[in-house]
Amino acid sequence: METIAEYTEINGCRESMYLFLMHLYKSEVDENLFMQMKNAAYPEDGNTEITNGYRIIKGYLNLPHTDPLTDLAVDYAKVFLGAGIVDPKKVAYPYESVYTSQERLIMQDARDEMLRILRENKLGLENSYNIPEDHIFVQLEFMAHICGEIRKAFEKDDKKAAAVLLGEQKQFIENHLLNWVPELCSDIKKFALTDFYKGLAMITEEYTKMDLAVVEDMLSACTTPE
């Protein structure tokens, strides 16, 4: 079994990863984020979808662009908002309702369920964004929040509290993220014009799948008698 300190560190890293992904789906990339990502060090070992996604993003960030921020803003608007797109089936609308309702509409059952989850956890949204609660950035933000709570539980050496939170998170990944995010990422890879968003889709899909296994391992360790 991993030590409490190691589990604390793991969940701190998970929290940071979900916050990182959240910001990239929340809005267009601004100059500050662009420069941070351009100067960042990315994992290079292995040949996983995550590593390949980072490699693609790094390659895009280091291309000689005339106006990369505009290119990314245009791609964000096209892929996620449908700007200039006539066929709605060629847009990766980042709402769970779109991918889980027969009519591919927003504000369906998935939104109501997400609103219930947020209220149960006493969490709200920034009203200025005025978006349905099943937007991917909200779900990633929720995951980051729970990771933070798990980290705090391990810091207190409270494996019982950590197990409860891990169980809730496992259920959320299975019933929500993995219920639609793989299809969303597939659409992003098909419709994005920039390698930046194609790489982001690769990382997002693989990370959510991989993270379920991480959660299951921690949950098992917390609930197995020593």
Q: What is the pLDDT of residue 131?
A: 87
Mean of the pLDDT values across residues 89-102?
A: 96
The band of 55, judged by pLDDT with boundaries at 50, 70 and 90, is very high
**CA-closest candidate to residue 97, choices 138, 64, 48, 59:** 138
Q: Kindly give the interhelix angle for 49-61 and 195-223, rounded to the nearest 10 degrees.
A: 150
Q: What is the pLDDT of residue 127?
A: 45
List pLDDT tens digits, range 140-176.
999 999 999 999 999 999 999 999 999 999 999 999 9
What would the 3-class secondary structure string for 150-178 be?
A: HHHHHHCCCHHHHHHHHHHHHHHHHHHHH
Least confident of 36-45, 62-71, 199-208: 36-45
Separation between Cα atoms, residue 114 and residue 125, nearest integer Å: 12
The band of 25, judged by pLDDT with boundaries at 50, 70 and 90, is very high
Write down the domain spans for the chain.
4-223
The band of 126, judged by pLDDT with boundaries at 50, 70 and 90, is low
User: Which class does domain 4-223 fall in?
Assistant: mainly alpha
The band of 222, judged by pLDDT with boundaries at 50, 70 and 90, is very high
The band of 44, judged by pLDDT with boundaries at 50, 70 and 90, is confident
Does position 128 have pLDDT exceeding 60, yes or no? no
Q: What is the pLDDT of residue 176?
A: 97
Q: What is the pLDDT of residue 161?
A: 97
Structure letter (DSSP) for residue 121: T
SS3 state at 135:
strand
Q: What is the pLDDT of residue 66?
A: 87
List pLDDT tens digits, range 75-88.
999 999 999 999 99
pTM for this entry: 0.94
Separation between Cα atoms, residue 88 and residue 86, nearest integer Å: 6
SS3 state at 95:
strand
Cα-flanking dihedrals φ and ψ of residue 135, to 5°? Answer: -65, 145
Report the mean per-residue pLDDT for the chain.
Answer: 93
Token couple for 70: 């505009």
Q: Which percentage of the chain shows pLDDT scores above 90?
A: 85
Cα-flanking dihedrals φ and ψ of residue 95, to 5°? Answer: -125, 135
